[in-house]
Each structure stands twice: as structure tokens, then as C-alpha cells.
Amino acid sequence: MVHRRYGLKEIALGAGFILLLLVILTFYIWYQTEAIQLGYRIGELEVRINRMKEDIKRLEAKRSELLSLRRIEGIARGELGLVDPAPGQVLYEGRDLEPKKERP
């Protein structure tokens, strides 16, 4: 059997081609892996965003609960000892008011 002898140039070309293939393959695998990793990361972040949105909704509701007028009035009257203003303590600003005339 007769074997053909390859020249140096041919061997280098072949090796370069194989190397290129390996690089492309490696890049492709790296790219795919990264894409999957990023997909997981995006998924995790989406879950986090949703949780944060839920937390915002929960906190808004909590704020509404804490600012409920029944609670505020309870604190104002019960803990701080505040009372309603007497008629003489109410100031009406920005308008000249005539003293009320008695009905004939």
C-alpha cells in the first residue's frame, strides 16, 4: 500500500482548520451555557421583582392600615390627649366674614 506524504503547509492548514472548528465549538458551547445561565438569572430576577412588587403592595396596605382614621383618632385622643377645637379656635383665612345677622 502506498501512503501519500502531506506537505507542511497542508498539515498546518488542516491543523488550523481543526483549531478553528474547536474554537467555534467552544464558543458555541460557552455561548449556550452563558445563555442558559443568564436565563436562570433573569428568571431569578423576575421572581425577585415580583416579590418586591408584592412587598410594595403589602407595605402600601400596611401604611393604609396604620394611617386609618380610627387608629389616628385613638392615638390623638387616648395617648396625646388632644381634643376637638372649640368654635373660637377655628380661624377662617382669606375671606372677610361679616358677623352673622339675626333672622328677623
Partner 1 sequence: MRSPFANGMRPRALAVAVVLTAWFVLVLVRLVHLQVFEHARLKSDVLSQSQNEIAVYPTRGTITDRNGKILARSLPVESVYFSPVRTEPPSRQMEQIARLRGILDLSAKDLARIGARVEKRSGYILIKRKADPDVAARAFALGVKGLFLQGESKRFYPQQNLAAHVLGGVGIDDNGLAGVELQYDRLLEGEKGKRLLMLDARRRSYSFETITEAKPGQDLRLTIDETIQYIAESELEKAVTVTGAKWGTVVVMDSSTGEILALANAPSYAPGDYPPESEVGRNQAIARNFEPGSTFKIVTAAAARACGRVGFGEIYDCRKGSIMVGGAAVRDHKPLGVLGFSGVFIESSDVVTIMVAQEIVARGLYDMIRAFRFGEKTGIDLPGEEQGIIHPLSTWRTSSFRVAIGYEISVTALQILRAMNIYAARGLLVRPHIALDRPAGIAEGEPAVLPEKIVGELVPVFEAVVEEGTGKPARLEGFNIAGKTGTAQKIDRAIGAYSSRLHLASFVGFVPAERPALSMIVVIDEPQGTLQYGGQVAAPVFREIAARVLRYLRVVPNAAPPAVITASLAKGGRP
Q: Does 103 bind partner 1 (CB under 8 A)?
A: yes
Looking only at residues 34 through 63 of this chain, which bind partner 1 when binding is defined by CB under 8 A? 54, 57-58, 60-62
Q: Indicate whether 96 belongs to the interface with partner 1 (CB under 8 A).
A: yes
State the burial class of residue 80 (Cβ atoms within 10 Å of its Cβ: 0-12, 13-18, 19+): exposed
Beta carbons within 8 Å of 60's beta carbon, 6+ residues apart: none
The alpha-carbon radius of gyration of the chain (Å, integer) is 40
Nearer to partner 1, 48 or 62 (CB): 62
Name the site residues for partner 1 (rule: CB under 8 A): 54, 57-58, 60-62, 64-65, 68-70, 73, 86-88, 90-101, 103
